Chains A and B, each alone.
Chain A
Amino acid sequence: MNLGISPKSRVSRLFRSPSFRALAALALVIAIGCVFNAEGTFFRWHTHRDMLRHISVFGILACGMTLVIITSGIDLAVGSVLGLSAVLFSLFSLQLGWPAWLAVPTCLTAGAACGLTSGGLIARFKIQPFIATLAMMVFARGLAKWVSGGRKISTAVQLADGSFEYREAPGVFRILGSKLFGGNIAVVTLIFLACALVCYVLLARLRLGRQLFAIGGNEEAARLSGVPVSAAKLLAYGLCGLLSAAAGICHAVQEQQGDPEAGAGYELTAIAIVVIGGTSMLGGKGGMGLTLNGAMAIGYLEKILSLNAVGEATRLMLTGLIIVGAVLFQKHRK
């Protein structure tokens, strides 16, 4: 974009900064919302609160995805790991009556184990990330179905004689599924923001973050300059798995059940969020701030289409167009 100002001028630099571009895409979507406001519904706070709640699960997945994409990798298994974790968490806390302090870490560990396995295949056996995580995506989905017997795990527990007994959902389900500050913000949104903050600190402030960027920029150069490439990759995929499991817990508490089909296709939304934010699929460039932006942009887009009761066909076409538009818009930057 040439604005006719000398390239060194401040304005020009501002226009070229990735954060500005990401913000501009978000602003565009919000502007659309202001025009098509569905009789003023778009201007009410609870619309925004509901959007934030809905996008939180996808946002948590996108946090992990950002770490992996920065290393120029990809994790297709996030949706399946989400499903697995939702099933495990429901099984443990709804049906087996485990306390939260046991159920939550167990699920997170299971998710991290899935991620570490993918990471191990990639770092140790040099399997391409796309293929290794594709295998994990299929495997974890199968595991979720096997653990649950193909059924949703809910508060209805089947007894030996085939009848059902209803259990009260445990406290952890009610707390995580509720809203705070006078009903103004969902707990899952706070979990999303906390995950985003942790990933931000990791990428921007810690040594591991710099190593991930270095690997994404040029893996060989990173190796030669002493970056522990395998260990760093392993950690990135492990964290991605852990965050997927956290998203799975958030999904289960919102649905009040563990659905073995939960999260199918969510990996694509997570990737879209990262890319719309402006993180490069080639690796080495990007950040958590951008992903947060991308999450909001996708969230608002879905909310606006839903508020106006736009038909499914139009919705899909518009979403495709807007993704391309946002990415093209960002491509101009150096």
Chain B
Amino acid sequence: MKTKTILLPAAGLAFLAAFSVACGKDHGSPASSAAPPKWTIGVSQCNLGEPWRVQMNQDIRSAAEGHPEIKVIYKDSQNDSLRQRSQIEEYASAGVDLIIVSPKEAAPLTAPIAAAYRQGIPVIVLDRRVLGTEYTCFIGADNVRIGKAAGHWALRKLGGSGKIVELEGLMTSTPGQDRHAGFREGIEGSGLEIVFEADMKWLEPDARREMESALSRFPRIDLVYAHNDPGAHGAFLAAQAAGREKDILFVGIDGLPHEGQVYVKRGILAASFEYPTGGREAVETALKILSGEAVPREITLSSRVYTPENVEAGGEWLRDN
């Protein structure tokens, strides 16, 4: 009993201390010895469990660094639409000057975003759409276009015929569906044949397992098209274990600096197609809105392809074709 009476308040104190340290770290404004920031921007990120979204916040952070006039607050919804909804409501009632939101899903988040917008707070929607038009600006990339570019690239690289394994991202998600549809469109009517396709749910261990199955079944595979770079990396490891990695080209999507681009530089992937986060563009657009400039309602980000030849030079922009 005695230990408990001491332990409880002690635990409480420890928790409070840890909490205040953690909060101090999270909301620490960019060290500004000069004038206090003029504007506050609230960022609501739907899930920081994905490296790509960590990168998006990173891009926002580094773009905001050079602008002492703005202060950026970050919140992570941990893949929960309702939590994200309350974050947007919190930003609206706190009266931030602008909201940048990368929504988890369209339907549950349309209403709170529209409410903030009607209240006079500009809202920039990043990467995933909401329903209707009650927001200031949408910034995102086009997965179908990227998938199609990957298809065209495969066509050129393989010279019109070959056997392909497609490792799909979660096929109940729109990026998975779009990257699939775009690629199919890109290779349509050619001699390229998809001999094996499997849903690896964006996960590297699953991609490796599926690729092992493909390798056991097919003595000849010319190219692996994975819907993300970790998937392509997993496929490479499976092929390497079977001693067949030299016969196969591996293509992935996302092109993150510490992931896809690294795999290309190390000769693991033959190509990685960038799926831009739009973090930098969001901050640039936010600054325009805050200083009263007009911005387009929709900004489609262009993306780059990284190959061993161009990766050191920063990749090559995709042309529409």
Contacts and interface: CB of A to CB of B under 8 A. Distances in A.
Contacts of B208: 54, 254
B7 to A, nearest CB: 9
Interface in B177-214: 196-199, 201, 204-205, 208-210, 212-213
A267 interface: no
Q: How large is the interface on A (under 10, 10 to 19, 20 to 34, 35 or more residues)?
A: 20 to 34
Interface string B249-279: 0000000011101100110000000000000
Contacts of B261: 164
Interface string A304-322: 0011010110000000000
A50 B216 contact: yes
Contacts of B171: 312
B48 interface: yes
A54 B204 contact: no
A105 interface: no
B103 interface: no
Contacts, number: 80
Given A179-B241, A312-B201, A306 B209 contact: yes
A44 B51 contact: no
B217 A307 contact: yes
Interface string A143-164: 0010001111010101000001
Contacts of A311: 199
A103 to B, nearest CB: 21
A199 B88 CA distance: 51
Contacts of B199: 311-312
Contact of A309 (B198, B212, B259): B198
Contacts of A303: 209, 213
Interface string A292-334: 0000000000110011010110000000000000000000000
Contacts of B106: none
Contact of B213 (A149, A256, A262, A306): A306
B242 interface: yes
A302 B51 CA distance: 27
B264 to A, nearest CB: 11
B213 A46 contact: no
A38 interface: yes
A302 B237 CA distance: 19
A255 interface: yes
A15 B20 CA distance: 62
B237 A256 contact: yes
Considering residues A145, A150, A251, A311, which has the most beta carbons from chain B within 10 angstroms of its beta carbon? A150
Considering residues B48, B201, B208, B217, which has the most beta carbons from chain A within 10 angstroms of its beta carbon? B217
B234 interface: yes
B54 interface: yes
Considering residues B49, B196, B198, B216, which has the most beta carbons from chain A within 10 angstroms of its beta carbon? B216
A164 B51 CA distance: 16
B240 to A, nearest CB: 10
Nearest to A164: B262
A259 interface: yes
B258 A50 contact: no
Contacts of B48: 145, 150
A261 interface: yes
A230 interface: no
Given A41-B216, A312-B201, A154 B262 contact: yes
Contact of A50 (B49, B212, B230, B234): B212
Contacts of A156: 258, 262
A123 B213 CA distance: 45
B262 A254 contact: no
B237 A38 contact: no
Contacts of B198: 306, 309
B217 A306 contact: no
Given A145-B49, A306-B210, 16 more contacts: A39-B217, A44-B216, A50-B209, A50-B212, A50-B213, A54-B212, A151-B258, A158-B258, A164-B265, A166-B262, A254-B208, A254-B237, A255-B204, A303-B209, A307-B213, A312-B171
Instruction: For the complex of A and B, list the 10 residue pairs with the smallest distance between their C-beta atoms, beginning with the closest.
Output: A156-B262, A50-B212, A306-B213, A312-B199, A150-B54, A41-B216, A307-B213, A41-B217, A47-B216, A54-B209
28 contacts: A38-B216, A38-B217, A39-B217, A41-B216, A44-B216, A50-B209, A50-B216, A54-B209, A54-B212, A149-B54, A150-B49, A152-B230, A156-B258, A158-B258, A164-B258, A164-B261, A166-B262, A166-B265, A166-B266, A255-B204, A255-B237, A256-B237, A303-B213, A306-B213, A307-B216, A309-B196, A311-B199, A312-B171
